[in-house]
Structure 1
Amino acid sequence: MKAAVLVLHGGKVTSHDPATRWQLSSVRMWPFTWSLRRALTDTAVLQLQYRYRGWNGAEESPVRDARWALAQIRDRFGDVPVTLVGHSMGGRTAAAVADDPNVVAVVALAPWWPSGNETKAMRAEQSVLVVHGSADRWTDPALSKAATDAALVRGVRARYVSMKRAGHFMLRSPWTWSKLVRDFVVDQSPSTCATKTR
């Protein structure tokens, strides 16, 4: 495999209940995982299942799980470039582990970025796509936009897309959400980058 994609699902503010693959937060990300697997035949597309459903304050439970998954990707595939795709709490998790040396790009879908400072771990050479519904009542699109703008100021190649009248769960215009993610991730793939430089 030439690259990897790690898909990160959402969750709850606080919960030590076990996360399972049949919970809606996980199921919601299956279409993205399947779409990317079809589009990227030379890329390992993996969807992480957290231990717990919650972020859990300073414990930051899914961050530990994501760092474990990134180490597993290195062990299995070597130092391949990794793109993170996260929804809601998964978007917060992706931003937190963006400092991993193998992470080259991040997609944050309706991210839960409560402080607006969650992009501080992102590096200038990384590409970032943030997509947020303007009608989201679970996470704040204004904070997502502010965090994206802050990343731009630091030299991150960040882009913000507002999905008009869309809510948190990506039910309005699902094909648009999927196409935005697929096109962005495909554009980060090593084969696409090689073609561009010829």
Structure 2
Amino acid sequence: MTPPGVDLLRHPVEATDLVLLAHGGSEHSSADPHLWSGAILRMWPFAEAVRSAVPEAAIGLMRYRYRGWNGAAADPAVDLRAVLDGLPPVIRRVVLIGHSMGGRTVVAAGDHPRVAGVLALAPWLPDGEPLTALRPPVTFAHGTLDTITDPRATTAYANRLRATGTPVTVYAVEAETHGMLHRPTDWNALVATFTANALGSVPTSATGADSEPLPQYGRRSSAAAVLSIAVARLRMPVLERFQVG
């Protein structure tokens, strides 16, 4: 078993901010996640989007011990908290961006004092998921055609958070499925804008609506999404690994 850690894709010498990407996984699995799994590869274009938006920040891919959530053990959330606790003191702010199980992971750990924003993409938030006092800004986005995780559950969780006083923005991504491959330009724009706002001096305010449509900037193309994954993977190799435990 490999200890939890972060694969750094960008690490400016004077970086004090880290954008941490948390990939999806399985409901139950003790298998070791590997860099060439589809769930991890899907996060690479977001790393490029972040690099353009906040070039002064470090960028890393969260690496869990196991591929699965694994019931009450909540292994990925435990791993993410361990990483946040163990980061060097020079890293003062961390923006968390997660997809699917990674969305559940960043929500579960989003109250950590180092967190400066939580973006959950097509998150897996089952009924009864415990509320976390997330540190704003907080945005959820979910494809309307997602049959793997439930967009209605995402909105329900957001409304529960709002009831506690936490501002949340929710985007409905029309004609999009769980893999986020039909509207790649729009997902990348969301990641870039959210990150820039979270690490800026004046973050944007959350909207009050249950959900609103995600703006469409580019054409819908799954082929372009797959190509962008391959290109980003080549342009941004893993530079080093930060490991805890």
Structure 1 contact 54–62 (Cα < 8 Å) conserved: yes
Shift of 1:47: 0.9
Find the counterpart in structure 1 of residue 43 from structure 2. Answer: 29
Aligned-pair identity (%): 35
Find the counterpart in structure 2 of residue 180 from structure 1. Answer: 190
For residues 39-72 of structure 1, what are the alpha-carbon distances to aligned partners after superposition, in whole Å with 9 as ceiling and x for unaligned? 2122111111212110011111111211122123
Find the counterpart in structure 2 of residue 142 from structure 1. Answer: 152
Q: Say how many residue pairs are matched.
A: 190
Find the counterpart in structure 2 of residue 158 from structure 1. Answer: 168
Q: Out of 61, 72, 86, which is 1:58 matched to? A: 72
Shift of 1:2: 3.0
Find the counterpart in structure 1 of residue 105 from structure 2. Answer: 93
SS at match of 2:201: helix
Find the counterpart in structure 2 of residue 77 from structure 1. Answer: 90
The answer for unaligned runs of 5 or more in structure 2 is 1-14, 205-245
Find the counterpart in structure 2 of residue 106 from structure 1. Answer: 118
Between structure 1 and structure 2, the one with the greater Rg is: 2
1:195 and 1:165 map into 2 onto residues whose CA distance is 28
* Counterpart residue identity of residue 122, structure 1: A
1:111 and 1:93 map into 2 onto residues whose CA distance is 9
In structure 2, relative to structure 1, the CA distance for the partners of 1:164 and 1:194 (3 Å cut) is closer
2:141 aligned with 1:131, yes or no? yes
Structure 2 contact 52–192 (Cα < 8 Å) conserved: no
The two structures have a TM-score, normalised by structure 1, of 0.90
1:57 and 1:117 map into 2 onto residues whose CA distance is 12
Shift of 1:76: 4.9
2:175 and 2:52 map into 1 onto residues whose CA distance is 29
2:74 aligned with 1:44, yes or no? no
2:130 aligned with 1:122, yes or no? no
Stretches (4+) displaced over 3 A: none
Structure 1 contact 26–49 (Cα < 8 Å) conserved: no
The answer for unaligned runs of 5 or more in structure 1 is none
State the Cα RMSD in Å. Answer: 1.7
Shift of 1:108: 0.3
Structure having the higher helix fraction is 1
> Which fold has the larger relative contact order, with Cα–Cα distance below 8 Å and residues 6 or more apart in sequence?
2
